[in-house]
Amino acid sequence: MGRLEGRVAIITGASRGIGRAVALAFAREGAILAVAGVRDQAALDSVQDELTALGAESIARLVDVGRRTEVDRLVREVEERWGRLDILVNNAGVLTLKRFEDITEEQWDETIRVHLKGTFNGMQAVLPVMKRQRSGKIINLTGPAALRPSNGVSDYGAAKGGIITLTFNVANEMKPHNIQVNCISPIADTRMTDAIAEFRGREGIPDHRPNPAPAETVAPAFVFFASSDSDYITGEVLGFHRK
């Protein structure tokens, strides 16, 4: 029996990269999955086919996490279909690389809307279900730019820093309800890391970042935080560092 046998999970940003890797890892551990992305239904359907091949029950839905009505609709569907909701992975994100003085108000608002507001929306939407169950696991995504200076990611870093603070506070409030809220800061080889490398090369900025690991190598950390192994861990930030 898998460590997530029969657990129901929502994973946002699941059409590729870390979200896809986490969905497949959860499926191997016996989870039931709702995978969400914002615009590429074909990519989501491909992930769902992979989940089905692993024997997992799943749905795949287009959801803009910055729109609360869409997040609420997904949560309602999950609860109506499976009668519970055990895990939320807030992974959806956007990245537009620009020097700070070139960031427009529109870009700033969109970055905050997807990352920080999207995480807020996800947590507020699932907490009523988890509180009724007296159990739940929430895993939020942050990034190295939240804790150390970088180039071209001022808006992204600000949003990810806000997610860490949000994680700390919600984890503290949810302790009486047996809901654990934690944060992971992965360094993984995704389209975002490729874009960062391209930006730094274009701008002539030395690239001293750690070499990103394949997305699959960070997935076990998500399984740990989603499983009963982490029942006594909340309000923590796990960072990945690889030379």
pLDDT, one tens digit per residue, over 193-218 is 555 555 555 655 665 555 667 889 99
CB 117 within 8 A of CB 93: no
Predicted confidence at residue 131, as pLDDT, reads 98
Predicted confidence at residue 133, as pLDDT, reads 97
Closest CA to 167 of 111, 220, 237: 237
Alpha carbon distance 50, 144 (integer Å): 30
Residue-wise pLDDT for 55-112, tens only, equals 999 999 999 999 999 999 999 999 999 999 999 999 999 999 999 999 999 999 999 9
> Average pLDDT in the 128-139 region?
98
Helix axes 105-112, 154-174, angle to 10 degrees: 30
Could you tell me the CA-to-CA distances from 2 to 6, 10, 72, 86 in Å, in that order?
A: 9, 18, 29, 15
Closest CA to 88 of 31, 38, 50: 31
pTM: 0.91
> Average pLDDT in the 210-232 region?
89
Average pLDDT of the residues of the chain: 91
- Indicate if the pLDDT at residue 242 is higher than 70: no
Alpha carbon distance 137, 62 (integer Å): 22
What amino acid positions are annotated as catalytic residues? 156
Give the Cβ contact number of residue 20 at 10 Å.
Answer: 26
> What secondary structure letter does DSSP report for 12?
S
- Indicate if the pLDDT at residue 191 is higher than 50: yes
Alpha carbon distance 8, 55 (integer Å): 14
Domains (range + CATH), the chain = 8-233 (3.40.50.720)
Residue-wise pLDDT for 149-179, tens only, equals 878 899 999 999 999 999 999 999 999 999 9
**Which amino acid, one-letter code, is at 166?**
L
Q: What percent of the chain has pLDDT over 90?
A: 79
Alpha carbon distance 70, 68 (integer Å): 5
Q: What percent of the chain has pLDDT over 70?
A: 88
Upper half-sphere CA count for residue 85 (Cβ side, 13 Å): 25
